[in-house]
Structure 1
Amino acid sequence: MDKHALKKFLIACNKAGYAGGEEKKWIKERDGSTTIPFKLGDCESHDNFFGGEPYGGRTVVSYKGKPVWIMVYYGWVAEGIQTDPVYKILRGALMRMPEDTPFRGPKQYTEGTLTYDNKWIGDVDRFSGEERITESEKLIYKANYMGGWVDKRGGV
């Protein structure tokens, strides 16, 4: 799988997964986590997370049955803040995932009084970043993420 194919797959995967809100396709696991599976041709993703609040998880992309890419993430909504509006803007931001850096949302996105900001370094090969949601400049949500290619050469 090359970088271009991975980016196209991540865009499709994201729209069909959490951002798309198709919760009927989500699988509740025995360990209490939730999995959002997606398959397109020879590619498949396995987005598995715990939460509620706070939440954490990982997305693994496999090509022809072999894991090739991973992203791990952890985030929270501030105490006393209603989660529904926060996750509504988060899903809106994730639906606007940049095609050249398809691991979270755009640099900035606003819905009403809420603003989503996303800063990252790197490319789909190897990256890390932080997304924040503010209301009137008050931080109400924050998540960190990182990832990239896996198992490209021997080790361990």
Structure 2
Amino acid sequence: MNKKALREFVQKANREGYGSGRQDNWTKEKDGSTTIIFGSGDFRMHDNFFGGEPYAGREVVFLKNAAVWMMVYYGKVIPGQDIIQVYKVIQLALSNAPDEMPVRGPKVLEDGEFRYTNEWKGNLEEFSGEESITKSDKLVYSANYIGGLVDQQKEE
């Protein structure tokens, strides 16, 4: 698998999916979850999440209908905060994902009185990380994520 193509696709999917702020490509599932599907070329991503607050979900990337990459995530807005405003900062962060690690937002992003930070270990093949948002230096949001390549070892 071409890992550069995977990285470019994940970045594009995050920008065009939840990061776009649009909801016209969201599907409400029978189990109460929401799915955002994005495809380009031979790649397709399913971003499926539950919530509300707190929220949890997973992103799965398929290459020619075979799962090749996955990330799971869990996050929450601190009670009493403006959820809509915090989610807008998350969308802005996703739409500015760094080239070297496009799974969430950049290491730091400033938006008015909000500051988004993202710390991760690893690379697209195997990683974990934590993102947070502060407003005037007070924590208003935090999330954790983990993921990497899946189903890459073939039986001989």
TM-score range, shorter chain: over 0.9
| CA drift at 1:79 | 0.7
Deviations 1:61-114 (A, max 9, x none): 000110000000000000111101101111111111001111100000011111
1:136-147 equivalence runs, <5 A: 136-147=136-147
> What is the CA–CA distance in structure 1 between the aligned matches of 2:110 and 2:6, rounded to whole Å?
28
Match of 2:149 in 1: 149
Query: What TM-score comes out, normalization by structure 2 length?
Result: 0.97
Identity among equivalent pairs (%): 51
* Amino acid aligned to 1:46: H
Aligned residues: 155
Deviations 1:116-135 (A, max 9, x none): 00000000000000000001
Instruction: Indicate yes or no: 2:142 matched with 1:129.
Output: no
- SS of equivalent residue, structure 1 residue 23: coil
2:15/2:96 contact within 8 Å kept: no
2:43/2:63 contact within 8 Å kept: yes
> What is the CA–CA distance in structure 2 between the aligned matches of 1:117 and 1:41, rounded to whole Å?
32
Runs of 4+ in 1 over 3 A off after TM superposition: none
1:11-26 equivalence runs, <5 A: 11-26=11-26
> What is the CA–CA distance in structure 1 between the aligned matches of 2:153 and 2:64, rounded to whole Å?
17
> What is the CA–CA distance in structure 2 between the aligned matches of 1:6 and 1:47, rounded to whole Å?
15
- SS of equivalent residue, structure 1 residue 6: helix
Instruction: Indicate yes or no: 2:66 matched with 1:66.
Output: yes
Match of 1:111 in 2: 111
- SS of equivalent residue, structure 1 residue 88: helix
1:30-45 equivalence runs, <5 A: 30-45=30-45
1:68-83 equivalence runs, <5 A: 68-83=68-83
Query: What TM-score comes out, normalization by structure 1 length?
Result: 0.97
> What is the CA–CA distance in structure 1 between the aligned matches of 2:40 and 2:59, rounded to whole Å?
15
Q: Which runs of 5+ in 1 are unaligned?
A: none
> What is the CA–CA distance in structure 1 between the aligned matches of 2:107 and 2:55, rounded to whole Å?
22
> What is the CA–CA distance in structure 2 between the aligned matches of 1:4 and 1:24, rounded to whole Å?
29
CA RMSD between the two structures: 1.0
- SS of equivalent residue, structure 1 residue 118: strand
